[in-house]
């Protein structure tokens, strides 16, 4: 009879997320996972089934955390305020590892070789773009953004800016905070 699990699965997913986020799919070996999660192979497979399944759970956690941050900022600051605050929040705070976006990294690394995981990353990126589009449209209806701007195009550009900001934040000699402020100022100029 198998022993009951003595681990916190949510904590393991969070730790796996950080390993995958840092090292990527190919760079994270099963030995890395076993060591990082402090699990033996049998326990790992009983808990998660496969490396791919755990990576999918890690992507889910990353995306859900990102979505929750955007929603919390929108509730607190309104649509335009959230869009202006998000660049700085993206490169600072407890939840931001000094890494490029995990979804973007996954899409680049796995879209050709690990179809389901690359497709999952693409879906989450599409959902984020849609959320940004909604915020831009709300800000436009509130008169904070001029009516001639296309919320869809603004959302795509904004997502590109955030992805680039995360990349620039890991480069040495780059003032990512100044770049985040520039993105926020650019949004104010849309009125």
pTM over 0.85: yes
pLDDT tens per residue, range 69-89: 999 999 999 999 999 999 999
pLDDT tens per residue, range 31-65: 999 999 999 988 888 889 999 999 999 999 999 99
Nearest to 73 by CA among 63, 62, 88, 61: 88
- Residue 131 in tokens: 């959320």
pLDDT tens per residue, range 114-150: 688 988 999 999 999 999 999 999 999 999 999 999 9
How many Cβ atoms are within 10 Å of 7's Cβ, its own excluded?
Answer: 12
The span from the CA of 164 to the CA of 154, in Å, is 15
User: What CATH number corresponds to the domain at position 77?
Assistant: 1.10.357
Domain contains 23:
no
Domain contains 115:
yes
Nearest to 101 by CA among 66, 76, 134: 66
Among the residues of 111-188, which ranges form H helices?
115-141, 151-169, 176-188
Domain contains 75:
yes
Total structural domains within the chain: 1
pLDDT at 32: 93
Domain contains 47:
no
Domain contains 175:
yes
Nearest to 155 by CA among 83, 105, 104: 83
Domain contains 48:
no
Residue 162 belongs to domain spanning: 60-188
Domain contains 19:
no
* DSSP letters spanning 61-118: HHHHHHHHHHHHHHHHHHHHHHHHHHHHHHTSSTT--SSS-HHHHHHHHHTTTSHHHH
Domain contains 31:
no
| Residue 12, H or E segment | helix 9-27
């Amino acid at each position: 009879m198998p022993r009951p699990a003595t681990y916190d699965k949510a904590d393991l997913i969070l730790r796996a997320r950080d390993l995958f986020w840092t090292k990527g799919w190919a760079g994270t070996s099963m030995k890395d996972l076993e060591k990082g999660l402090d699990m033996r192979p049998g326990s790992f497979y009983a808990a998660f089934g496969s490396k791919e399944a755990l990576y999918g759970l890690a992507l889910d956690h990353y995306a859900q955390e990102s979505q929750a941050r955007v929603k919390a900022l929108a509730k607190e600051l309104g649509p335009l305020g959230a869009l202006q605050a998000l660049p700085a929040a993206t490169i600072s705070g407890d939840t931001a590892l000094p890494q490029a976006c995990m979804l973007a990294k996954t899409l680049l690394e796995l879209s050709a070789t690990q179809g389901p995981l690359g497709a999952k990353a693409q879906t989450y990126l599409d959902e984020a773009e849609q959320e940004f589009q909604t915020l831009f449209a709300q800000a436009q209806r509130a008169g904070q953004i001029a009516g001639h701007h296309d919320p869809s195009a603004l959302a795509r550009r904004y997502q590109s800016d955030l992805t680039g900001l995360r990349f620039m934040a890991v480069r040495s000699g780059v003032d990512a905070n100044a770049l985040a402020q520039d993105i926020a100022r650019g949004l104010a100029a849309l009125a």
